[in-house]
Structure 1
Amino acid sequence: MGNSRGLFATYRETHSQFSITMQEDPAASWAKADSADVREIHPQKLAERASKKAHLAVKTSELAPGRYTVILEPAAVLDLVGFLFYDFAATAVEDKRSCLNNRMGKQLFAKNISISDDVYHPLQKGAPFDGEGMPRQRVLLVDGGVPKNLVYSRASAKMARQRPTGHGFALPNEYGEAPMNLVIGGGDSSVEKMVASTDRGLLVTRLWYIREVDPYEKVMTGMTRDGLFLVENGKLTRAVRNFRFNQSLIEMLNHVERMSPAVRATGEESFEMVVPAMKIGNFRFSEVTKF
Structure 2
Amino acid sequence: MVGSASGMSTAQLRPGGAVELWAERHLRVLMLAPTVLILLGLTIFPSIYMFYAAVHKISPNPNVPWDFVGPGNFVRLLSDQQFHVALLNTTLFTVVAVTVEFLLGLGLALLLDKYLRRLTFLKTMLMIPMMLPPIAVAITWKLIYEPQFGVLNEIMYRLGLPLQAWAGDVDLAMVSIIVADVWQWTPFIFLLMLAGLASLPVEPYEAAALDGASSWRQFWDLTLPFLKPVIAIALLLRVMDALRLFDLVFILTGGGPADRTKVLSLYIYQVAYRFADPGYAAAISLFVLFATIILSTWFMKRMRLAD
TM-score of the two chains, using structure 1 as the length reference: 0.28
The structure with the largest alpha-carbon Rg is: 2
Q: TM-score, normalised by structure 2?
A: 0.27
More strand by share: 1
